Amino acid sequence: MTLSMNTPEFLVERNLDRCIKCQVCVGQCANEVHKYDKETDSLSCEDLACVGCHRCVTLCPTHALTIKKFPLEFRTNANWTPSTINAIYKQAESGGILLTGMGNDKPYPIYWDHLLLNASQVTNPSIDPLREPMEVKTYLGRKPDKLDFSDGELLTEIAPQVELELPIMFSAMSFGSISLNAVKSLAAAAKEVGTMFNTGEGGLHQDLYSYGDNAIVQVASGRFGVHSQYLEAGTAIEIKIGQGAKPGIGGHLPGEKVGREVSETRMIPEGSDALSPAPHHDIYSIEDLRQLIYSLKEATRYKKPVAVKIAAVHNVAAIASGIARAGADIITIDGFRGGTGATPLRTRDNVGIPIELALAAVDSRLRNESIRHQVSLVVAGSLRNSADVMKAIALGADAVYIASSALLALGCHMCQKCYTGKCNWGIATQDPNLVKRLNPEIGAQRAANLLRAWKHEIKEMLGGMGINAIESLRGNRLMLRGVGLSDRDLEILGVKAAGE
């Protein structure tokens, strides 16, 4: 045993005037921060174990607990910041890759916050959504170039579409990375509000087949849980090539998380690691992708739209164009701030590009090639509120995926420790003691409320612009202006500067 140089990140303070020694904190902390000593009838804290998830603070009935940043100052150094130094201590101790959860937390520019929306004044009227219809219904799937009529009769058959009551879906999160109760919450919320949840690469648990009409089933490189009944179960199929939190590598579910139900759903032995290969081993090039797209279409008799999800990487526009031409009906692009249950820290924080720029580049590229209208474009990677959604649609997206926002609605406190499996909120865990902390009835209500709230806000903002159907915002970049952006940024975003 040698000395560990790990120091606490958080300081847990207990107000003894308020503490009633009920020990709720002791029972609630899966990291065993709080301890009760019977002999002295007192409580103590192990700060080093605290991850800052606020479970104890939230449940403490007398608000006796405070969590602070641990006041430990290194000598000021703009280069060697505490996080860079501590990372080295950790790696020197473990010899391993640093792992983390959720999305990139580094202070890269957030372009959403540099884009502003328009509103009508005088020259055209704003529309009041409380008095006038306001449409946010969205259809995802392949669209024809044109409709053919003969003697007033429509001849064109429209390809299968995913119908959404609002252009927001729950992004891919597998059963395994998150708990069954979390998946159930999202599935039920999607059903209630009229949108989709995405199974991620973990298959579809038997209990969730009844939510098939609201499911997009994913096929990833590990092919976990993929079988014909699964493909048939959803409204659409998504081939996952990559994700924003870990472009270029596959998912990794540690064996500890693979209990009986995960094992049955994924069709792998209990306790075995579920390691998704970095690439699909049947897709080494774009023409291979085409084969998989059409294999899946054949398998489902062309009744399901097929989406392809990629991480936003440097040449995303060209890749997206190739995907559209390979026959995908929906292209999903996940930006570098997208979350995950587990990812190497360095990959998460340094690989990929912001979704705002990727989206603008892809939409422009597909338009230049006159194929944008044929496919649907869905973006993910940190849509934090309804205004972000509006901006994404104005930049050119048909719809967005949210995951971190959805998990926050379920109780996530963004502690980024999903990979430990000790999620105190019952979300990113398979521990039955913790899983039951998320009541899926409550979870479904909260997730559905979030979507309803955003829908109201979107309608308000749309009405303010004098628009009464969401499709009139799609790609309508004149509704955006940039602030504090370089000319080059504005050019890529295809947006004018505020004041122009």
Partner 1 sequence: MKKIYAQEKYCIGCRLCEVYCSAVHSEYPNDLVKAFNRSKIVPTPRVKVEEDRPLSFAMQCRHCDEPHCLKACITGAMYRDEESGAILNDAERCVGCWTCIVACPYGGIFRDESKSKVVAKCDYCLDQGDPACVKNCPNGALKIEEGGE
Partner 2 sequence: MLREGQVRIPSGCAISGIINRKGNRFSGEKIIESIAVMHDRSNGLGGGFAAYGIYPEYKDFYAFHMFYDNLQAKEDVEHFFNEHFSVELSGIIPTRKVSSIKKSPIIWRYFMKPLPDKIRDSELYEDEYVVQCVMKINSKFSGAYVVSSGKNMGAFKAVGYPEDVGEFYKLEEYQGYTWTAHGRFPTNTPGWWGGAHPFTLLDWSVVHNGEISSYDANRRYVEMFGYDCSLQTDTEAITYAFDLLLRKHGLPLDMAIQTVAAPFWDSIAHMDEKQQKVFKALRITYSSLLINGPFSIILGSKNGFVALNDRIKLRALVAAEDNDTLYVASEESAIRAVCPKPERVWSPRGGEPVIGLLEGADSI
18 binds partner 1 (CB under 8 A): yes
Residues 449-488 interacting with partner 1 (rule: CB under 8 A): none
Q: Kindly give, in sequence order, each residue whose CB lies less than 8 Å from that of residue 70, ignoring residues fewer than 6 positions away.
A: 7, 8, 9, 10, 11, 47
124 binds partner 1 (CB under 8 A): no
156 binds partner 2 (CB under 8 A): yes
23 binds partner 1 (CB under 8 A): yes
436 binds partner 1 (CB under 8 A): yes
Which of 36, 139, 209, 294 touches partner 2 by CB under 8 A?
139
- Scanning 94-102, 159-167, 311-319, 432-440 for contacts with partner 1 by CB under 8 A, the matching segment is 432-440
Which of 116, 279, 466, 498 touches partner 2 by CB under 8 A?
466
- Residue closer to partner 2 by CB (options 387, 479) is 479
Least distance CB 493 / partner 2 (angstroms): 13
152 binds partner 2 (CB under 8 A): yes
Q: Which does 453 bind (CB under 5 to 8 A by kind): partner 2, partner 1, none?
A: none
Reduced 3-state DSSP string for the chain = CCCCCCCCCEEEEECCCCCCCCCHHHHHCCCCCEEEECCCCEEEECHHHCCCCCHHHHHCCCCCEEEEECCCCCCCCCCCCHHHHHHHHHHHHHCCCCEECCCCCCCCCCHHHHEEECCCCCCCCCCCCCCCCCECCEEECCCCCCCCEECCEECCCCCCCEEECCCEEEEECCECCECHHHHHHHHHHHHHHCCCEECHHHCCCHHHHHHHHHEEEEECCCCCCCCHHHHHHCCEEEEECCCCCCCCCCCEECHHHCCHHHHHHHCCCCCCCEECCCCCCCCCCHHHHHHHHHHHHHHCCCCCCEEEEEECCCCHHHHHHHHHHCCCCEEEEECCCCCCCCEEHHHHHHCCCCHHHHHHHHHHHHHHCCCHHHCEEEEECCCCCHHHHHHHHHHCCCEEEECHHHHHHHCCCCCCCHHHCCCCCCCCCCCHHHHCCCCHHHHHHHHHHHHHHHHHHHHHHHHHCCCCEHHHCCCCHHHEEECCCCHHHHHHHCCEECCC
CA dihedral (367, 372, 376, 380) in degrees, to 10, reads -20
**Which value, in Å, is the radius of gyration of the alpha carbons in the chain?**
24
Least distance CB 139 / partner 2 (angstroms): 5
282 binds partner 1 (CB under 8 A): no
Tokens of 309: 């999800």
- Residue closer to partner 1 by CB (options 125, 432) is 432
Which of 133, 298, 488, 499 touches partner 2 by CB under 8 A?
133
Q: Which does 146 bind (CB under 5 to 8 A by kind): partner 2, partner 1, none?
A: partner 2
Q: Which does 23 bind (CB under 5 to 8 A by kind): partner 2, partner 1, none?
A: partner 1
120 binds partner 2 (CB under 8 A): yes
Least distance CB 95 / partner 1 (angstroms): 34
Residues 194-223 interacting with partner 1 (rule: CB under 8 A): none
125 binds partner 1 (CB under 8 A): no
Tokens of 400: 């967005």
Least distance CB 356 / partner 1 (angstroms): 38
Which of 16, 20, 147, 442 touches partner 2 by CB under 8 A?
147
CA distances from 142 to 26, 146, 213, 288, 374 (A): 54, 12, 19, 20, 5
- Residue closer to partner 2 by CB (options 178, 479) is 479
- Residue closer to partner 2 by CB (options 147, 267) is 147
d(CA 5, CA 470): 54
325 binds partner 2 (CB under 8 A): no
132 binds partner 1 (CB under 8 A): no
Least distance CB 176 / partner 2 (angstroms): 35
61 binds partner 1 (CB under 8 A): yes
437 binds partner 2 (CB under 8 A): no
- Residue closer to partner 2 by CB (options 118, 449) is 118
22 binds partner 1 (CB under 8 A): yes
Which of 207, 476, 497, 498 touches partner 2 by CB under 8 A?
476
Which of 2, 40, 123, 285 touches partner 2 by CB under 8 A?
123
130 binds partner 2 (CB under 8 A): no
73 binds partner 1 (CB under 8 A): no
Least distance CB 229 / partner 2 (angstroms): 29
21 CB-side CA count, 13 A: 9
Look at residues 176, 104, 185 and name the one whose alpha carbon lies nearest to residue 407.
Answer: 185
Q: Which residues bind partner 1 (CB under 8 A)?
A: 17-18, 20-24, 27-28, 59, 61-62, 431-433, 436-437, 439, 441-442
Q: Which residues bind partner 2 (CB under 8 A)?
A: 120, 122-125, 127, 132-133, 135, 137, 139, 143-144, 146-149, 152, 154, 156, 158, 161, 367, 370-373, 465-469, 471-479
